Amino acid sequence: MIQIDLEAERKEILNRYKRLIKACKRRLEKGDKETIRKAFEVSVEAHKEMRRKSGEPYIYHPIAVAQICAEEIGLGSVGIVCALLHDTVEDTDLTLEDIKGLFGEKVAQIIDGLTKISGVIDNTSSLQAENFRKVLLTLSEDVRVILIKLADRLHNMRTLEHMKRDKQMKIASETLFLYAPLAHRLGLNTIKTELEDLGLKYTDAEAYNDIAEKLRESEPERKKFIQKFIEPLKEILTEQGFKFKLFGRPKSIFSIYNKIKQKKVSFEEIYDLFAIRIVIDTPLEKEKSDCWKVYSIITDFYHPSPERLRDWISTPKSNGYESLHTTVMGPQGKWVEVQIRTSRMDDLAENGYAAHWKYKDSASEKESNLENWLIKIREMLENPDPNALEFIDDFKLNLFSDEMFVFTPKGDMKTLPVKSTALDFAFEIHTKVGEHCIGAKVNHKLVPLSHELKSGDQVEILTSKKQNPKEDWLNYVITAKAKSKIKNSLKEQRKKIAEEGKEVIKRKFERHKLEFNNKTINDFCNYLKLPSSQELYYRVALGNVDVSEIKAFIKYKESPNKKPVKAETHKIEELVTHARGKSDMLVIGDDMQKLDYKLAPCCNPIPGDDVFGFITVGEGIKIHRVNCPNAIKLLSNYAYRVVKAKWTNDELISFLAGIKIAGSDVIGMVNEITKVISSEHNVNMRSINFDTDDGLFEGTVMVYVHDTKHLNHLISNLKKINGVNKVERIDEER
């Protein structure tokens, strides 16, 4: 039994409280300190018997969340009070009425919002798509709800090592799936970056550790390069009378990881591992001109890449981000990204909307940006899609996307995600304009609905009263608003058609002396294996259900030995309990049973890969790699259908794996490659395919291997071949 030193813990709790008060001192008004003290005491009392998984007193968690709210997000006293109390209504005997009596209406309202979504998104359960709207509903009422929830999530991620592996996977996937994009959308760049890095640490520890190690190793060389780059700039900026800070910031581990995956390059091939940031101290009215002056000084020294200039000072991003970005050719022929901004812009870029209390005069525009975004969320919630998962996908799409600016014929500017189409723009103007859109004029030229817009385009929408949304419109739009409106319109159209179908089948039933009531309709739906009466009516209206089916149904009803027709249903419990398998390669579930399974084709796992089982409806258990492209979505939205899975090495079975090889096209290269593969113990080739172009070759080889170790050994031997530049595993069978 571990002895707990209660006196030492009491002192530590008080020390942490003092640090919290110190962090928010600047913003406290008269009476605030007393309210925070009261909230602290109420929270300590309410959680006094509780401990975290790490064994620490539970109160450490609310204090840490309040500290993040004060120090890293910049919330005022109401936010800090709510952070201290955020778990009390959910986990203790305190009620919402108690909170209201002690701290007033506003605090109770925020705690209510936090409690509604707690249990959906806490540190033990995984977020389910069906409950996600609750998060958005509370977010659209008071942004502080989501800011405190982000702080709560950040602290949970920082202490995730105390959780079990399957819980770590679920929480980390959920963080990457929803919380990091939300932090990004609210302009909390520092928090977004940390959530992403921590998310990666638990979803792909190997990749995370590899990049972190390489960043550590290359740090001295990087520092030397940055020093050489900024030395002459410091001199001239001081000469010109600028007050400034100039430093190099390494890119986050997660953004490097993404670049490696997307561009299919190695760590060594990424040139922009860091960005140089110049933060100038200048009055509000001179901000724009001074930033451009600094740009001019830099480009006098280093050649800029004209395609890589980004001006987010003239047109800030909709999350409030302002900065001037350019990429220049630095010493040793290396491209370097330079960010130029003022102290105010830097604060807003790192701390988002929460930093606006400092800049009351310039905050109004950014606040209206936030308000516009919240209005869009409310609009989407007015027409809730019954398929919550699709709703999240559509919504998420617009959290992280880059933005562009397009103009109406009158010159009004609209912000849209990059890759938006003319049809997206039409729905952005108004739902009715979108629904009746037949085409558009972009820069005075006629274009179709699917035309992809570019930043700076001027767009005029052409409409017709006779036009209505079509099913294929969903392929032409990328904004959540347009998708949601088109789906609603299609549903309405389907409903109208179904009404007509209802009248038709009613007449047909009467003609065949069948009663038109709920029981008969349900029996007929079961007979045809249709999910609902509305689907039946819709098909009748389209002519897909005719008299022959009705006659067959009557015969079936009259048949003395008929068997009831039931739609096949597969219960998850049944699948896990009854799928006793012949396979000995994988053990599945908490009690590590040997069950039947299939390997998911999206990531093609082989023994040795870190895997999990996913219970499908209809196809039993599918095994996915932990770093499968679909893993984060599955773990976030269907956590209750995820089971543990682990390879056992009882027998040597061969699994198909793909390898991609690229390099210089030298004579005898294919022969050399096949020689290495065939000399590898117990490896058989299934297929080999090579293309050469202008002195370079690229090829894929499908081989049978026993496990990851076996495959990695083969890959490292292939890399040793003279002329081979790149060898990597491919996930899908080609």
What's the pLDDT band for 460 if we cut at 50, 70, 90?
Answer: very high
Per the structure, how many domains does the chain have?
5
- For residue 633, pLDDT over 60 is answered with yes
CATH code of the domain in which 249 resides: 3.30.460.10
- For residue 564, pLDDT over 60 is answered with no
Is the same domain home to 85 and 132?
Answer: yes
Return the number of other C-beta atoms located less than 10 Å from residue 322's C-beta: 23
pLDDT digits (tens, 9 = 90+) for 163-207: 888 888 888 888 888 788 888 877 788 889 999 999 999 988 899
In whole angstroms, give the CA distance from residue 80 to residue 72: 12
Q: Is 202 exposed, middle or buried (0-12, 13-18, 19+ CB in 10 A)?
A: buried
Q: State residue 293's pLDDT score.
A: 93
**Given 9, 12, 56, 91, which residue is catalytic?**
91
Mean pLDDT is lowest, of 61-65, 132-136, 191-195, for 132-136
Mean pLDDT is lowest, of 72-86, 175-189, 239-253, for 175-189
Known catalytic residue at 91: yes
For residue 115, give the amino acid letter. Answer: T
- For residue 706, pLDDT over 50 is answered with yes
Is the same domain home to 217 and 349?
Answer: yes
Domain housing 618: 572-647
Residue 48 in domain:
yes
The pTM of the full predicted model, rounded to 2 decimals, is 0.62
For residue 113, give the amino acid letter. Answer: G
Is the same domain home to 31 and 132?
Answer: yes
Q: State residue 394's pLDDT score.
A: 54
What's the pLDDT band for 588 if we cut at 50, 70, 90?
Answer: low
3-state SS class at 96: helix
CA atoms within 13 A on the CB side of 349: 17
What's the pLDDT band for 294 if we cut at 50, 70, 90?
Answer: very high
Q: Which of 15-24, 137-146, 375-384, 388-397 has the largest mean confidence?
A: 15-24
3-state SS class at 689: strand
Residue 693 in domain:
yes
Which structure tokens are listed for 11? Answer: 């002192």
Q: Is 332 exposed, middle or buried (0-12, 13-18, 19+ CB in 10 A)?
A: exposed
Burial 269-300 (b: 16+ CB within 10 A, else e): eeeebbbbbbbbebeeeebbebbebbbebbee
Is the same domain home to 168 and 248?
Answer: no
Residue 500 in domain:
yes
Q: Which of 119-123, 141-145, 168-172, 264-268 has the largest mean confidence?
A: 168-172
Residue 290 in domain:
yes
Residue 452 in domain:
no
Mean pLDDT over 318-341 rounds to: 85
- For residue 380, pLDDT over 70 is answered with no
Mean pLDDT over 25-50 rounds to: 84
- Asked if residues 120 and 137 have their Cβ atoms less than 8 Å apart, the reply is no
- Asked if residues 197 and 254 have their Cβ atoms less than 8 Å apart, the reply is yes
pLDDT digits (tens, 9 = 90+) for 615-626: 887 777 888 888
Nearest to 197 by CA among 154, 227, 229: 154
Is the same domain home to 254 and 330?
Answer: yes
Quote the mean pLDDT of the chain.
79
User: From edge to edge, which strands make up the β-sheet containing 724-730?
Assistant: 684-693, 696-705, 655-664, 724-730
Which structure tokens are listed for 398? Answer: 């617009």
Residue 386 in domain:
no
Mean pLDDT over 294-316 rounds to: 87
In whole angstroms, give the CA distance from residue 346 to residue 590: 48
Mean pLDDT over 523-528 rounds to: 84
Is the same domain home to 496 and 579?
Answer: no
Which structure tokens are listed for 105? Answer: 């209406």
- For residue 560, pLDDT over 80 is answered with no
Mean pLDDT over 342-356 rounds to: 73
Known catalytic residue at 471: no
Q: Is 504 exposed, middle or buried (0-12, 13-18, 19+ CB in 10 A)?
A: middle
Is the same domain home to 609 and 550?
Answer: no
pLDDT > 90: percent of the chain: 13
Is the same domain home to 320 and 236?
Answer: yes
Q: Which of 608, 626, 647 is the last residue of a domain?
A: 647
What's the pLDDT band for 653 if we cut at 50, 70, 90?
Answer: low
Is the same domain home to 34 and 60?
Answer: yes
Is the same domain home to 724 and 579?
Answer: no
Nearest to 419 by CA among 394, 402, 437: 402
Q: Which of 528, 558, 588 is the last residue of a domain?
A: 558
133 membership: H or E segment, kind and range: helix 132-141
Q: Which of 600, 626, 647 is the last residue of a domain?
A: 647
Q: Which comes out higher in pLDDT, residue 365 or 174?
A: 174
Mean pLDDT over 572-582 rounds to: 36
Is the same domain home to 62 and 159?
Answer: yes
Q: State residue 373's pLDDT score.
A: 58
**Given 9, 90, 98, 166, which residue is catalytic?**
90
Residue 372 in domain:
no
CATH code of the domain in which 111 resides: 1.10.3210.10
Mean pLDDT over 434-456 rounds to: 89
Q: State residue 351's pLDDT score.
A: 67
Residue 383 in domain:
no
Q: State residue 48's pLDDT score.
A: 82
Q: Which comes out higher in pLDDT, residue 198 or 74?
A: 198
Label the pairing between strands 274-280 and 335-342.
Answer: parallel
Mean pLDDT over 213-219 rounds to: 88
Burial 32-49 (b: 16+ CB within 10 A, else e): beebbeebbebbbebbee
What's the pLDDT band for 566 if we cut at 50, 70, 90?
Answer: very low
Is the same domain home to 534 and 591?
Answer: no
User: From edge to edge, which strands make up the β-sheet containing 621-625?
Assistant: 586-588, 642-647, 611-615, 621-625, 598-599
- For residue 599, pLDDT over 90 is answered with no
In whole angstroms, give the CA distance from residue 279 to residue 282: 9
